[in-house]
C-alpha cells in the first residue's frame, strides 16, 4: 500500500526508549511502518538488534542507541549523540520497570528504582530533547503509563505511583509547550502480553483475564496502533490526555 496515510510519518525522526522488546519494539515497528526514522534505544549495545531486523522491510528506517534513562549522564550523552543527527519530531517514553511487592515489605531501594526509570527517566529525556523538538514539524511526546496509575494496585504501590505521577508530568508539559505546537499524551495500557507480564503466576493472570470485557489480554500492537495515531496528523488536536487501551478492564 502506498497511500498517503501509511506514509504519513515519512521524514520524521522518532525516539523510542525501551525498544528492545515488548511494547517498545511494537511502537518502533509501527512508527517505521508509517515511514519514520526510528532511534531505537535500549540499555545494552545490540539490545535492539531484533527490532532493527523487524524494521528492515518497512518503508521507514532505524538505528540503535544505548541509554539508561534512570541515569542523567547517560541520557545527556544519548541526547548529544542523537541530536548530532538531527532533532527528533517524536519522543516515546516507553522504558519501564516493575519491582512488585507488598507495601509493608517494599524497600525504599525498590521504590526509588521504579520511580527513577518510569518517572525521572521520562523527565530526563523530555528535558534533553524538548528544546530541539520545538523547532520541528508536528512535535509529539507520548509517555507510556499504565491503567494502575489511574486505579492503583495492591502490590504495586511504587509502580502505580510512578505511572500516576507520569500523568502529572504529561499534563504539565502539555500546558507548558502547547503554545509551541507540542502535543504530550499518556497511553495507559491494561494487561499486555510481554516479558513484563509473562512471569506473573497463573492465578494472577486468570484473575486479571476475568476482569477484561473483551476476553483477552492485549498484545503490544494494540498499544502501538494508538501511538502511531497520536504521532500522525489525526492526533494533532489531542494533548494532555491519558488514553486507556485495556480491553475494558477498568470499566
Ligand atoms: N505489559 C503490560 O501489561 C504493561 C501494562 C501497562 C503498562 N506497561 C508499560 O509499558 C512499557 C513497556 O513495557 P513492556 O511490557 O513492553 O515491558 P518489557 O519489560 O518487555 O520492556 C521494557 C523495556 O524497557 C527497557 N528499560 C527498562 N529499564 C530501562 C532503563 N533504565 N533505561 C532504558 N530502558 C529501560 C527494557 O530494556 C525493555 O526494553 C513500560 O513502561 C510498562 O510500564 C506495560
Domains in the chain, start-ordered, CATH in brackets? 4-244 (3.40.50.720)
18 lines ligand 1 (CB under 6 A): yes
Q: What spacing in Å lies between the alpha carbon of 1 and ligand 1's midpoint? A: 31
Average pLDDT by stretches of 10, the chain with 251 residues: 70 98 98 98 98 97 98 98 98 98 98 98 98 97 98 97 98 98 98 94 94 98 98 98 98 95
Cβ(188)–Cβ(150) below 8 Å = yes
Distance of CA 99 to the CA centre of its chain: 18
Spatial distance between the Cα atoms of 83 and 224, rounded to a whole number of angstroms: 24
146 lines ligand 1 (CB under 6 A): yes
pLDDT in the model for residue 4: 52
How many residues appear in the chain? 251
Pocket test for ligand 1, best of 160, 186, 194, 243 (most atoms within 8 A of CB): 194
Query: Taking the C-alpha atoms of 168, 39, 132 and 235 in order, what is their torsion angle to the nearest 10 degrees?
Result: -60
Three-state DSSP state, 70:
coil
Q: Read off the pTM.
A: 0.98
pLDDT in the model for residue 6: 76
Distant-in-sequence, close-in-space partners of 128: CB < 8 Å, separation ≥ 6: 75, 76, 78, 79
Amino acid at each position: 500500500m502506498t497511500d498517503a496515510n501509511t506514509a504519513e510519518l515519512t521524514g520524521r525522526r522518532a525516539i523510542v526508549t525501551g525498544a528492545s522488546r515488548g511494547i517498545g519494539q511494537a511502537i518502533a515497528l509501527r512508527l517505521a511502518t508509517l515511514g519514520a526514522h526510528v532511534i531505537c534505544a535500549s540499555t545494552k549495545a545490540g539490545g535492539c538488534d531484533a527490532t532493527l531486523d523487524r524494521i528492515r522491510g518497512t518503508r521507514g528506517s532505524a538505528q540503535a542507541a544505548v541509554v539508561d534513562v534512570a541515569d542523567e549522564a547517560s541520557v545527556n550523552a544519548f541526547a548529544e549523540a542523537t541530536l548530532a543527527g538531527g532533532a527528533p519530531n517524536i519522543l516515546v517514553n516507553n522504558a519501564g520497570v516493575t519491582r512488585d511487592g507488598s507495601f509493608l515489605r517494599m524497600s525504599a531501594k525498590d521504590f526509588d528504582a521504579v520511580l527513577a526509570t518510569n518517572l525521572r527517566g521520562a523527565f530526563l529525556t523530555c528535558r534533553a530533547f524538548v528544546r530541539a523538538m520545538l523547532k520541528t514539524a508536528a512535535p509529539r511526546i507520548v509517555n507510556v503509563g499504565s491503567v494502575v496509575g489511574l486505579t492503583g494496585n495492591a502490590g504495586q504501590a511504587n509502580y502505580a505511583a510512578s505511572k500516576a505521577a507520569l500523568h502529572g508530568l504529561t499534563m504539565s508539559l502539555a500546558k507548558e509547550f502547547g503554545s509551541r505546537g507540542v502535543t504530550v499524551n499518556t497511553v495507559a495500557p491494561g494487561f499486555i502480553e510481554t516479558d513484563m507480564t509473562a512471569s506473573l503466576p497463573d492465578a494472577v493472570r486468570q484473575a486479571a483475564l476475568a476482569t477484561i470485557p473483551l476476553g483477552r489480554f492485549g498484545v503490544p500492537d494494540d498499544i502501538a496502533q494508538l501511538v502511531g495515531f497520536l504521532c500522525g496528523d489525526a492526533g494533532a488536536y489531542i494533548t494532555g490526555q491519558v488514553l486507556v487501551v485495556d480491553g475494558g478492564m477498568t470499566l
